[in-house]
Amino acid sequence: MKINANLSTESGWEIFEHNFIADHLIATGSNFLIGNGYLGYRGTFPEWRKDQYVGCFLSDTYDNADGKWTELCNVPNALYTLIKVDGEAVITSESLTYENDHKEHSYCRKLDLKQGLMSIRNCWTSKDGKRLMLKAEQFASYADLHLIPQRFELEVDRRCVLEIITGIDALVWDLHGRHLFDHSFSSGPDHLSVKVKTGELGTRIIVMEGLSIDGKKPFKQTISEAENQEGIFRKLAWELEAGEKLVLEKIMVVYSSNDLPDPGVAANHSLKNALEKGYTKLKADHTPYWEEIWFKTDMVIEGDLKAQTVLRFNHYHNFIATPFHSDCLPIGARGLSCQVYQGSAFWDQEIFNLPVYYYTKPEIARNILTYRYKTLDGARHKARELGYEGAFYAWVSGKSGRELCPSFFFTDVLSGRKIRNHFNDWQIHISPDIVYAIWNYYLATGDWDFIKKYGAEIIFEVARFLYSFAYFKKDKNRYELIRLVGPDEYHENVDNNAFTNYQARFSLHTALIVYDRLKEINPDYLAELLKRLNLSDEDYWQWEEMARLIYLPQPDPENGVIEQFRGYYDLEDVLPFRLEERLIDKSEYWGWPNGVAVHTRVTKQADVLQLLCLQDIFPPDIVKCNYDFYEPYCQHGSSLSPAVHATVAAKAGYIEQAYKYFMHSCMIDLAETNKAFSGGIFIGGIHTASCGAAWQVIAFGFAGIKASEEGISFNPVLPEPWHEVRFKVFYRAQELYLTISKASFSISAPSENSAPVQINAYGNTAVLQPGEMLLFKEPLS
């Protein structure tokens, strides 16, 4: 089954690449990434080096090299391997061999989504006609997060001398300056190693490599350090006969001093254990983790193999970007595929990456939300620095929660001058977005313990911030939020952005609900918390007043449209494709302060539609007319946008458009639809938020899932190509199996469930008991 001209699948669990295309080198390295939330290793070729964007990016290694960008470190590459046949270097990415002027396809790169494996198969032909059959496979272990095992199978068709140069390549690709210093190389009978320190914080990192050989022993074997701290390498050589095979197994081990005080001891132990087990046993230890992941998170689509495959591709990348092992680290906006966006959290984390975990693996969602609690002091610091109270979360948040977003993010490619953007001080919706996520996590899981221990403090501090930020307009008796940037980042310095104002009210209402409930069931804890935060009943009534009086742009009585921000209707009415014609340079930034979109209605991404995606407070006719109005103006300059349009289109009843946008969202990385450069800044890598959003389009759009304290509701529809969709969700620790078809919707509960669940579908309410099934036969449109 073709996915596009160069990609295909057979079962929906794998992606095959049939030709290597050099122009796609950056994107395919990201797409074929392996990872485990601790590290990400790009899907590159064995002999590649930094010029081909090889990377192993390590979580919790934040470092600032240039005084502007704090980012994760790319560590030395212990999977480097150069193969030579009779002195001629093997290019493992070569897609074609030649025999009698006939092109013969022999190359395949494969991403095994089911087991988290990346493999390469190729039959390379030398200039004098010798052939080397090569198979290589590797994975980032979930059984030991510090391991990347790799296995080579090599076979020659003629007698030759096979030479292999393999070891640790210490020349690394960095976006914003050098991070690693003080290289110390060493070797032993079964290992190579390099120790380095980061330049800013002195974080110690050790990378080790182990090698085992199955087959003829090499007639030559040496170890040497390269000049200029370029690495440490083995050189091995064999005289092989026709048909003779070699199997090489390499182990890459990575630790940092942020993992434990003595990373060297731990790395030695991991490497020794891995070499003793061997590749096959390490793989057997690893695959059950993926079995458990897919058992809980997989969505089965019958009738559309392409959609099935690209959906799983997005699930895979969302999961390997998530640091499930920690409650101190964020989900990076490009995951661990590169240094873009600094390995840091944006609002993407709460709004796009997390919801799948509320309903499938809530322990992971709790970990990531706990990270927001542990970075609360960073949010308080930012608020104070800007003259506010409470918690104003960083737009770009690393481990500490301090703001990492530079004030001058883009460069004007026409003049070369820096552009002052205000993502870090006007985009306040980040704080209420976090409250929105916390409360929706609670609705899905019933985890009041989290609210009590962590959530309440965040929620109260965000309410305090919003009250200190708001402007009370006495002549209109209302609170306003001015000087904002909404989700549409092309328009900065706007007043009363509808999305931001509605999210602010949601946060204030949530603060009141949590306050009242704590007062009722945990009064002693509430008293202690208020004392610690220096809050009182007066703050409660201030929040109540602001929630009641905050200005909320209302649907126009004539056309039902909600104005995105004050003055939006006065902007030039032009569509994105016409605006693009005005660009002098294709890489110009379209937004503030002087981009081509600033004085027009063209939006970077969903804004009012983002509001309608999150808050089900408007009737279907309002959803529909706002979709009709805003959809043509969206340029989709953000990868977040297509999934939002898909979800809102499904809610509006535009099922064909919902399907179109769903596929657009799922193909963003595979089809390279989004530019790698904007405003002079490299922004490539895996778009992890759109990966997380793929699950949401089906769950919240096509299935219409909505959790409340009373129960869970559904309003399912299916796009035309799909015959059936099946998946499971967990609602308040109760497992539910969903099947949506053209003719019916069924939901069943295993007998192991501990409690009944109230179900609402198509407006009909029923109680689902453990071991029972409910069947709804209302026709689906």
Residues taking part in catalysis: 489
Three-state DSSP at 326 gives: coil
Q: What is the largest CA-CA distance in the chain?
A: 92
Cα–Cα dist 671/447, whole Å: 39
Q: Contact 743/779 with Cβ under 8 angstroms?
A: yes
- Helices and strands (DSSP H and E) totals, the chain: 19, 36
Q: Contact 349/368 with Cβ under 8 angstroms?
A: yes
Cα–Cα dist 223/189, whole Å: 10
Beta bridge partners of 162: 85, 238
Q: How many whole angstroms from its chain centre is CA 385?
A: 30
| Nearest CA-CA partner of 6 in 702, 16, 26 | 16
Q: Which residues contact 250 (CB under 8 A, 6 or more apart)?
A: 78, 79, 81, 149, 150, 151, 152, 166, 209, 210, 211
Cα–Cα dist 510/462, whole Å: 10
Cα–Cα dist 190/307, whole Å: 45
Q: Compute how many other C-beta atoms are within 10 angstroms of the C-beta atom of residue 771.
A: 11
Three-state DSSP at 283 gives: helix
φ/ψ bin of 629: left (φ > 0), alpha (ψ from -120 to 50), beta (otherwise)? alpha
Q: Contact 168/192 with Cβ under 8 angstroms?
A: yes
Please calculate the CA angle 386-390-393 and round it to the nearest 5 degrees.
70
| Nearest CA-CA partner of 710 in 754, 748, 751, 766 | 766
Q: Which residues contact 511 (CB under 8 A, 6 or more apart)?
A: 435, 459, 460, 462, 463, 543
Q: Which residues contact 60 (CB under 8 A, 6 or more apart)?
A: 256, 258, 259, 326, 328, 329, 399
Q: Which residues contact 334 (CB under 8 A, 6 or more apart)?
A: 340, 341, 343, 684, 685, 686, 687, 688
**Residue owning tokens 């699930």:** 315
Asked if the bond preceding 593 is cis, omega within 30° of 0, the reply is yes
User: Which string of b and e fits 406-431 if b means at least 16 CB within 10 Å?
Assistant: beebbbbbeeeeebebbbbbbbbbbb
The pair of three-digit structure tokens given for residue 771, joined into one six-digit string: 């071991």
| Alpha-helical segments (H) within 161-262 | none
Beta bridge partners of 682: 677
Cα–Cα dist 432/427, whole Å: 11
| Helix or strand (DSSP H, E) at 147 | strand 147-156
Q: Compute how many other C-beta atoms are within 10 angstroms of the C-beta atom of residue 122.
A: 23
- Whole-angstrom CA distances from 538 to 6, 281, 534, 535, 542 are 63, 62, 11, 8, 6
Amino acid at 68: K
Q: Which residues contact 651 (CB under 8 A, 6 or more apart)?
A: 612, 613, 620, 623, 701, 704
The pair of three-digit structure tokens given for residue 766, joined into one six-digit string: 């029923």
